[in-house]
Amino acid sequence: MLYRVLSNLDAGKRGIIPVGELTDLHWLSPEKKQILLDVGAVSELQSPPLGVLPGWKNRAKRLASACGTAADFLEMDDGLAAELLKVSIDAVAELKANVRSFLVIKPATG
Amino acid sequence: MTTQTTTAVNACDVDIWLDNAANTLTDIGGGTNKIDLEFDHELGEYRAFGNKWRGRLECGKDAKFTLYVIYSTTATEAMKIIESWFHANVPGARSLKIYVPTKSAGAAVYSCEARIDEYKFTVDVNDPNAVMATVVLLPDGAVTYSTAAT
């Protein structure tokens, strides 16, 4: 499960995770994740179908058997993604970064 | 009917962490019993002909942290960390973190690099209570407001 950060998160040694970022909060127990949801610090990520992202229509078709949304793709096993897309593991990392860039919201400065 | 809050907190278990001389965040809550947190937003103003109401412009932000520290003699406790910091040749900035209501997931965290502005205390032969010192820390740069996720 991916979460959108709604209030800067102080993740200790992991540093500050800024508003708008995505995180899986993998270091927290389910109870602590629920606390962050309850206080409005994060929300469950609502992401669009992968195919609506610019340049992703054809890739989404190749991945359709394994994932439907952009978030599904970000959480997908890299090896399986590489196999379905017929690309290298390194290329999957770049593609995930590309999808992530569509989902992260940069906060207004000032 | 007005919805009543169910999430009020008190300050009994607030946590305050400050870098020691080795730049390691250290829990100084056990030697501190009160903190004033002051946040300031500079606002300019104007009013033009034909308008009764003032307009306001936003500018800088600042903060001030006043710690009420119990005078104790252990090197790893709040008072000695503060004193050794102030009296260092080059005190420098140190990390400060304050967790409200306590250091756990969901808590509000105020964190910054702070410089020590002043500390003072009074010793009074007629006062049997523990000696208390007040310490003023000022941020060097932004104060980050975040939610604890640890």
- In a domain, residue B17? The reply is no
In chain B, how many domains are there? Answer: 1
Q: Does B143 touch chain A (CB under 8 A)?
A: no
d(CA A50, CA A47): 8
Give the C-alpha distances (Å, rounded to integers) separating A3 from A15, A17, B104: 17, 12, 19
Q: What is the pLDDT of residues A45-94, one digit of tens each?
A: 999 999 999 999 999 999 999 999 999 999 999 999 999 999 999 999 99
Q: What is the pLDDT of residues B81-134, one digit of tens each?
A: 999 999 999 999 999 999 999 999 999 999 999 999 999 999 999 999 999 999
Contact between A2 and A24 under an 8 Å Cβ cutoff? The reply is: yes
Q: Whole domain around residue B112: which residue ranges?
A: 24-42+56-147
Q: What six digits make up the tokens of A55? A: 């340049």
| Angstroms from B113 CA to nearest CA on chain A | 14
The pTM (predicted TM-score) of the whole model is: 0.87
| Angstroms from A72 CA to nearest CA on chain B | 23
- In a domain, residue B143? The reply is yes
